[in-house]
Amino acid sequence: MEQTLSKKPLPQLAGNLNTGFLKVVAIFYMLIDHTAVVFFPKVLELRLLGRIAFPLFIWCGVVGSELTSNHPKYLLRLLLFAIISQPFFMLGLSHSWNQLNVFVTLFLGQLSLFGIKQKWHYSQIWVPMLCILASCLVYMDYGWKGVTLVILMYMARKTRSGLAALMIAFCFFWGEGTTLMNTICGIPVAKLGTLTPYGASLYKAVFRLENFAVLSLPFIIYPIGWQSKLPKWFSYAAYPAHLGILWLLKTYVIR
């Protein structure tokens, strides 16, 4: 979710700057994830693939924050779609009014970056702190970990090695305490815990659902030579639109 890319990659940005392509990939995996939530909640392999989407949206936002000529307008667009998307988030994924959608998380992440860039009365310190605090106090999709990942990915934006190290470390932190995968595509990965004296600890550390967000890393760090462009509002509108379609399907078609 970003502004229009310039023709030449900016030298201070590493990784894949083809955000048109990345948005399509992210939307595809988001659709897989939310379809699984609504219709196939026990098929964890689909949720595993869905972990790819959110880091891609974050990276597109980091690129967009660097290329935009009007960051406040960018923030207003995110806030607008946070408001528009909330009813669809509630209907499509069975949430309530006090549970906020992912656009709120992305908005707070981008607000943190705006504060870091402005350096207004030490805003590079207090704005991110307030945004993380807000994401702790109010439930929102991905919560304070999502806001923190936006900030960290921005800090690591200049080197592919930095982005790789960040994502690997953060995904292991992110996965701690989440669903432990017993099988993946019929393969009993739980048995790996019995192969070595430390196998059980390794299995419990690696095969956590949120750990698989690291699968987004190749998309983020490997640049693509060609550029692709999507309509400006496509990636924004795709979020409430697909949730609305899922709600219609589960309510009137697939019961």
Mean local confidence (pLDDT), 220-246: 90
If you average pLDDT over residues 77-84, what whole number do you get?
A: 97
pLDDT digits (tens, 9 = 90+) for 133-160: 999 999 999 999 999 999 999 999 999 9
Stretch 65-82: mean pLDDT:
93
Three state DSSP letters for the chain: CCCCCCCCCCCCCCCCCCHHHHHHHHHHHHHHHHHHHHHCCCCHHHHHHHCCHHHHHHHHHHHHHHHCCCHHHHHHHHHHHHHHHHHHHHHHHCCCCCCECHHHHHHHHHHHHHHHHHCCCCHHHHHHHHHHHHHHHCCECCHHHHHHHHHHHHHCCCCHHHHHHHHHHHHHHHHCCCCECCCECCECHHHHHHCCCCHHHHHHHHCEHHHHHHHHHHHHHCCCCCCCCCCCCHHHHHHHHHHHHHHHHHHHHCC
Q: What mean pLDDT, rounded, does the chain reach?
A: 91
At residue 230, the pLDDT reads 82
pLDDT in tens, 88-116: 999 999 999 999 999 999 999 999 999 99
pLDDT digits (tens, 9 = 90+) for 11-40: 588 889 999 999 999 999 999 999 999 999
